[in-house]
Amino acid sequence: MERNITTKVLDNTVISAGLKEIKTINLIERCIKRYKLVTSKHVFEETLKGFSNPIIKNCYSEIEVHEINEETFNFLLDYLERRFPYLHRGELSSFLVALLKYAENGKPYYYVTDDNKMRNKIPKILNDPVLKSKLKNPITPENFNLTGTIGLILRLKYRGLISKEEAKKIADDLENSSFRVTPELLKKLRED
């Protein structure tokens, strides 16, 4: 019997942190030991702009890129970009992958983003009447699985895929980088 693997739908903030900010481990390699990793075509295109070809090729050999060309996806992406012009296409498209491919179909998933604007607007987006009218199975903010890079790392730590010592070093990596993280979250990474 095949076990139901949780899919992590990544946006560019998480991929960039794994490629640039975290030096201690290869975050993508650790994640694939436990999870299926996916993202949107738009996030892939964003990542291409920020990293060299060999780095991208290696990273995306482990991440499935969804190129969704469905009427509902395209309509909602255009609508959300107009409705929330300060949110980026990458975050919106990866959110829609999580919503339309996983949440709406009852598949185990987490949408992983560190973009605070996006995270703060998800309840408003999920309660938007236009979006709700396009869904087969409406999803409430309480039912939408959301985490960030730190939450993902903590899950890997609790599952034994990152050692306590590695988690402490990752906290140091993030503290000494341009990654925005609160002292409280760094403390959680450093806890035994």
What domains lie within the chain, and their CATH numbers?
Answer: 7-190 (3.40.50.1010)
Q: Calculate the average pLDDT of the chain.
A: 92
pLDDT at 80 over 90: yes
Classify strands 146-147 and 7-10 as parallel, antiparallel or unpaired.
unpaired
Kindly report the pTM of this predicted structure. 0.92
**Predicted confidence band of residue 95 (pLDDT cuts 50, 70, 90):** very high
> Which residues in the chain belong to E strands, given as ranges?
7-10, 36-40, 63-66, 109-112, 146-147
In degrees, to the nearest 5, what angle opens at C-alpha 63 toward C-alphas 58 and 66? Answer: 130
- Structure token digits, residue 43: 């996030």
Q: Across residues 104-117, what is the average pLDDT?
A: 95
User: Which residues have CB under 8 Å from 128's CB, separation 6+?
Assistant: 83
Q: Give percent of the chain above pLDDT 90.
A: 80
Q: Across residues 101-129, what is the average pLDDT?
A: 96
Residue 123 in 3-state DSSP?
helix
For 133-146, what is each residue's pLDDT tens digit?
Answer: 999 888 999 999 99
What local confidence, expressed as pLDDT, does residue 2 receive? 45
What local confidence, expressed as pLDDT, does residue 3 receive? 56
User: Quick count: other Cβ atoms within 10 Å of Cβ 162?
Assistant: 23
What local confidence, expressed as pLDDT, does residue 1 receive? 36
